[in-house]
Structure 1
Amino acid sequence: MSILTNDPSTWGARNAHDPTVVRGDDGLWYMFSTDAAAGASGGIPVGAHIRTSPDLVTWTFHGTALGEVPEPARDWSGAQGLWAPEVVRWPTTDGSTRWHMYYSASTFGSRTSAIGLATAGTPAGPWADRGIVVATRHDRDAHNAIDAAVTFDRDGRPWMIYGSFFGGIHIVELSAETGVRLRDEPGALIARRPASVDGAIEGAYVQYRAEEDRFVLFVSYDSLVDTYSVRVGVADEITGPYRDAAGNDLTSPAPEHAVAVGTKVLGGHRFPGGTGLIAPGHNSIFTDGDATFMVHHVRLADAPTQHEAQIRRVHWTRSGWPLVSPHPFAGIGTERLTAPEQVSGEWDAVRFAPEVPALVDAQRVTLVSDAVSDGDPITMRLVVETGGIETGGIELDAVVFGAWDPVAQRSVLAFSGIDPHGVVWSGSKAVTT
C-alpha cells in the first residue's frame, strides 16, 4: 500500500472525494472532486480539485478550480473548503460553449449551507463565481443546501437535485438561461430516511433513461466513513415518486423501512485475494456513446482513512434496472475475452443485502445458463445455486459482461443481477490456475 504524500502529482485517483466526470472538447476526461487534503502542508489549496485522463484509467492532478471559497458562500456558511462539485455542459442557444459548476459550502453537522454557481468556457477553467443558487440556515430550514447534481428532463429542462441527512433529497427546476432556481422554493422531496437511522442519506444523482422513458435516482445511504452504499429507485416523472425494485417509495419515513428501502447496487465488498473496499458512494453517472459509467469514491478496508475515486461500468437489465460491475473499469480493451466462455460454472459473487451494512466477502456460487459470451454484454435470466439460501436456486434478472479482474490480472466474465426479492448479486467467474 503506497503512502499518500502532500504532493498532488503523486495521487492519481487517491484523495478524490465526491467525484464527477465530464469530457471536454479537447478529448480529455475531467474529474472534479471535493478538496480533500486542502490546507495540508505542501500548499494544497481549497477549491474543487481537477484531474484529467485520456482513458478513464490514469488520472493526473490538473489543479484547483476556484482556489478559495467564493466570498458570498464563505460569508454565508463559514466554510473553509468546497464540497461535491457538480460540473455540467450547459446548453446554449448561440452556439457558444459554457460549463456550469455547482459547488457546496458548508461545515459538518450544520444546515447553514450554500450551493453556489461558477461558469467557464472549458472544464479546465478559468472559473468565475456567479453567486449563490440556494442557501439554508441551521435554525430556519429543515433541508440542507449541499451535494448538488444537475439533470435534464425529457423536454430538456434543467433540474437540480440536492440535500442530505437534514430533511432528505429535494429537486428544484433551474432556469435554462441562467442556471439558477426558477422559483424560490426547496422543490419536491424525492427521497428521505427516518430519524431512527439519523436520516442518513446524501449524494444523490438522477439520470433520464430514454429507453424506458423514466428517471433513475442513485443515492447514498449511511455513513461515508464505513457503511456508505449506493441505492437506486426509478420514477415516471422527474419529481417522483421514486420506487425501488420491490416497489417501496424512497420517501417512506417508516422505521421498518429504514434499511430495506432502496435497491442496493453497490456496497462494501471483497473478492478472494483482493483489497477490501468499504463505503462506496456519492456517485455520479456519465456516458460515452452507448456506454454508461459510474464514478464514486471508496475507502480501503486496511487503510480506512484513505479514499480514492473508482469508475465502474453500469449495465442495464431487460427491465431497465442499472447494475454495477463488480470490478473497477480498466480500459475498453480489457473487457473483451481472449476466447468465448460458457456462462455456466463457478463464480465468486457478493450479495448486496440491504440489511448488511458491513463489508461483504464474496462467496462461491454456481451459475446455470446455456449462454456463451466473449465479454459483450448479454441480458438474460440466470439461476444462481448457493447451496444454502434457497433450495433449487435463485433466478436473477441479470447482465453478463466482460471485466478486468485486478487480482488475476486478466479479463474475466462478470455478472450482476436482481433476484425476486429485489436484492442485487454481483461477481466474476472464478479463475482456475
Structure 2
Amino acid sequence: MTNKLFDLNIELKGDLKAHDPALVKENDQWYLVHTGKGIGFKSSNNLSEWHSQDSILNEALSWWGDYVENFDRENDAWAPDLEYFNGKWWLYYSVSEFGTKNSLIGLLSAESIEAADWQDEGLVITSTQGQDFNSIDPNLFIDPEGKPWLVFGSWFDGIKLTELNKETMKPEGEIYSLAHRMVGKRPAGIEAPTLTYKDGYYYLFASIDHCCRGNKSDYKIACGRAESITGPYYDQDGTSLMDKGGSILAAADREFTGYGGQDLFENKYLVHHAYHRHSGEYRFFIKELDWEDGWPKIKNYDLKINSYYKLKNLENQKTAAVEAAKTEARARIICNNNQKAHTNHWLIYPIDAEYYRIQNRNSLLYLEVGDADKSDGADIQQWSNTRHICQEWELINLRDNIYKIINRNSGKALTKLEDDYLVQKEDQDLDSQKWKLDSL
C-alpha cells in the first residue's frame, strides 16, 4: 500500500497550541476559540499567523458549580463552538467532570466578536451520572430552512441532536440519537460532533477512539451522511453510525497522531488538533477540503483510508478474524469464512509514512504480536492501543491489492498456520504469508 501523506497546504505559525478548535471569520479577521480556562481565544488577519488573545471569560461563572461541582478550575471550558445566527454570535461551551456524565453546556452571545460584548445566556442543557447522554462538545448547526439545531455528546450513549428555539437558542422538543459505538455493553469512544449540509445530504463528523493521551492518542476523524438531519447516518460502506460505522477522513501523518476535536468552516476548511508523535505536545491545524462523489477528502491526502478491509489469506481464501468474535484483550486471531461479520473487518490507517495500525471493527482493539515477542511462531492477538511498535505493520504491495504484512517490532510476516491461527514467521514468500485487502 503506497502511503503519500499530505503536505500541509496551509502553513501556520505563531501560537498554535489549541485543543478542540473552532474557526470563524468576522469581516476580515479570523478567530479561533478552543478548550481552555475561560475559553481560549486566538486571532489572525490572514489565516496563517495566529496570536493568542485574552480568554473570553475572566473567571468561571458562578452558576457552573450548581451543576458540575468538581470541574477543572485550571482548564474549565471545553470544546467551544462559535456561530453567527439572527444578528448575533452564539458561543456554546461545555463544563464537565472528566470521565463522567456530570456535565453542562452553557451559552454566551455577542453582537460582535471584535467588540467582545459577551453576555451570559446561562444553561443550555445538563447531564448527570444517572442519564445516558453526556452534555459536552456542542456544535450549533443552521439547517437549509434556517432552523437552529444543537448536536452534542461524548462516549456513553453517543451523539445527540436537538432543535433549538430561535429566540432563546436553547432546546425545545425531542432529543435524537445520531451515532454511538458499543462493544457489547461497553461504550467506546465517539465525541466532538460537527454537522454540515451539502448537495442534499447532512454530514456528521465525529472524533472516534481516544483523545487526551498525548502521543498515545488514537483519535480519528470519521464521517457519515444522511438524507434527513435526524438520520439515519451511514458511512461509505453503508454501515450505520449507530453500529460503529464511520468513514475515516484522517488519523495521523508523519509527525502527528490523534487527529480530532474537529470543526468545519463553510465546507472548505477542516480545523482539528493532533499530538506530536515524539513529544506528545498538541497543536491545531487547518486543512483544505475537497468533495469527491459526495464525500469529503482532505486536499493532497492521497491515502485511501476511508474504508475497512477484509484480510483474505491467499492460501485458503479465508479472512482474518478475532477468534469467536471475542472483544477482550489477548484474544487470538484466526482465519474463517464468516466474511460478513464485523469481527472479520479491519480498519487500516497510517501512523507514519511507512507503517499502519490495524484495528478490529467489532472489538475496536488492535492487531499485535503477543507480548512484543520477536521469535518465530509468536501468536497474533488483539490488544488496546499501547503505542508499542508490535502493533505497527508495514504493508508491502505485491500486486492486485495483495500484500505482505510485516511487523515493525520483529520484522516478521503475518502468517496463517495449517490450523488457521495467525502467528509471525520469517518471510518465506509463501501464500500463507500473502493477504488480499478487499475493501468493504
The answer to whether TM tops 0.5 is: yes
Tell me the number of residue pairs that the alignment of Structure 1 and Structure 2 aligns. 309
CA distance in 2, matches of 1:352, 1:244: 9
1:295 to 265, 271, 286: 271
Corresponding letter in the other structure for 2:181: R
- 1: distance between equivalents of 2:304 and 2:145? 38
Change (3 A) 1:72 1:214: same
Deviation string for 1:312-334 (max 9, x for gaps)?
011000x210001357xxxxxxx
Structure 1 143/392 Cα, relative in aligned 2: closer, same or farther at 3 Å?
closer
Identify which of 65, 77, 85 aligns with 2:80. 85
**CA offset digits 1:387-408 (Å, max 9, x no partner):** 72751799xxxxxxxxxxxxxx
Large movers: runs of 4+ above 6 Å: none
Q: How much has 1:361 moved relative to structure 2?
A: 2.6
Tell me the residue number matched to 1:202: 191
Pair 1:303–1:392, CA change in 2 (3 A): closer
1:191 to 1:351, Cα distance in 2 relative to 1, 3 A:
closer
Which residue of the other structure, out of 299, 310, 313, is the alignment partner of 1:325? 299
1:183-205 Cα shifts (integer Å, max 9, x gaps): 3x5x1000000045642100010
Is this contact kept in 1: 2:247–2:306, CA < 8 A?
Answer: no
| Alpha-carbon shift at residue 282 of structure 1 (Å) | 1.1
Deviations 1:337-387 (A, max 9, x none): xxxxxxxxxxx85746654587523359xxxxxxxxxxxxxxxxxxxxx97
SS in 2 for 1:182: strand
2:263 to 274, 284, 294: 284
Q: Pick from 173, 181, 194: which aligns with 1:193?
A: 181
Q: 2:16 aligns to what?
A: 14
Q: CA deviation at 1:66?
A: 1.6
8 Å contact 1:350–1:361 — kept in the other structure?
no
- Pick one of 175, 187, 203 that aligns with 1:216: 203
How has the CA–CA distance of structure 1 residues 300 and 202 changed in structure 2, closer, same or farther, with 3 Å as cutoff?
same
Gaps of 5+ in 2: 1-12, 309-345, 356-394, 404-436
CA RMSD in angstroms, aligned pairs only: 2.5
Q: Percent identity?
A: 28
- Superposition TM-score, scaled by structure 2 size: 0.66
In the TM superposition, what are the counterparts of 1:41-190 in structure 2 within 5 Å?
Answer: 46-78=37-69, 79=71, 80=73, 81-90=76-85, 92=86, 97-124=87-114, 125-138=116-129, 140-183=130-173, 185=174, 187-190=175-178
State the alpha-carbon separation in 1 of the partners of residues 288 and 252 from structure 2.
Answer: 17
Change (3 A) 1:391 1:160: same
Gaps of 5+ in 1: 1-10, 36-45, 271-275, 328-347, 365-385, 395-418, 423-433
Equivalent pair of 1:227/1:357 in contact (CA under 8 Å): no
- Structure with higher Rg: it is 2
Aligned residue for 1:380? none
Deviations along 1:224-255, whole A, 9 cap, x unmatched? 12100000000001111000000000011xxx
Give me the TM-score of the superposition, normalised by structure 1. Answer: 0.67
SS at match of 2:67: helix
- Amino acid in structure 1 at the alignment position of 2:131: D
Q: In structure 1, how many angstroms separate the alpha carbons of the residues matched to 2:104 and 2:113?
A: 22
Pairing 1:303-314 to 2, within 5 Å after superposition? 303-304=279-280, 306-314=281-289
Query: Which SS does the other structure have where 2:126 is aligned?
Result: strand
